[in-house]
Chains A and B, each alone.
Chain A
Amino acid sequence: DTEVTQTPKHLVMGMTNKKSLKCEQHMGHRAMYWYKQKAKKPPELMFVYSYEKLSINESVPSRFSPECPNSSLLNLHLHALQPEDSALYLCASSQGAGRYTDTQYFGPGTRLTVL
């Protein structure tokens, strides 16, 4: 079973709202990732958590705040977003500690629209 789940599927929010994206995996994977994908572009890495600790932050603006409450759960808290933040947000997980040898398995994504 290589399932990564994400909620919600779609989210529309205003620039002053606070919302959260949720990602869950029950495969015992030790690394979890957030990606942002704009239309007709490849995914861009935002954050990597390894053993519940933030290991990579790709210079993401502070209006995006990741959280890893436990090894199965990854959240992305959103606050004061801009319309250009509208995108598909993908979560992924991998078995190892986020090493280059790992295969990343992706969830279905959350389509975010910022008005």
Chain B
Amino acid sequence: AQKVTQAQTEISVVEKEDVTLDCVYETRDTTYYLFWYKQPPSGELVFLIRRNSFDEQNEISGRYSWNFQKSTSSFNFTITASQVVDSAVYFCALSEGGYSTLTFGKGTMLLVSP
């Protein structure tokens, strides 16, 4: 069974639209961490955010915001007023107890057109 599910394979929007990327996770641990990474066409994985399981506060960073809900095991990512530079593959990842082995979702490709 997938531990991290990103059901949206590809999303296309026009610049300035808001877009939400979904992430649903599965774990039996009470302590865990969730991450979002961005991978532009150049290939580098860029760290965006880390959230631990005890902190359900939503986070906003500029045009980016994250909604963590333990009740639904979801950690969704919203980009407000999208821009062409937001075009990338976005990965949600889970880190559970033990060594730091990230379990990645399959990724969502976001295409923002002008």
Contact = CB atoms under 8 A, between A and B. Distances in A.
B104 A42 contact: yes
Contacts of A31: 100
Given A94-B100, A101-B100, 12 more contacts: A31-B100, A40-B107, A42-B107, A48-B101, A56-B101, A90-B43, A96-B100, A98-B100, A100-B32, A100-B33, A102-B95, A103-B35
Nearest 3 A/B pairs, CB to CB: A42-B104, A106-B45, A108-B44
Contacts of A45: 101-102
A103 B101 contact: no
Interface of B: 32-33, 35, 37, 42-47, 50, 52, 91, 95-102, 104-107
Given A42-B107, A100-B32, A100-B95, A106 B44 contact: yes
Contacts of B32: 100
Interface in A71-115: 88, 90, 92, 94, 96, 98-109, 111
A101 B99 contact: no
Interface string A42-79: 11010010100001100000000000000000000000
Nearest to A99: B100
Nearest to A102: B100
B102 A108 contact: no
A106 B99 contact: no
Interface of A: 2, 31, 40-43, 45, 48, 50, 55-56, 88, 90, 92, 94, 96, 98-109, 111
Nearest to B42: A108
A32 to B, nearest CB: 11
A99 B47 contact: no
A40 B6 CA distance: 13
Contacts of B107: 40-42
Contacts of A101: 33, 52, 95, 100
Contacts of A106: 37, 44-47
Contact of A104 (B52, B98, B102, B106): B102
A98 B50 contact: no
Nearest to B102: A104
B39 to A, nearest CB: 9
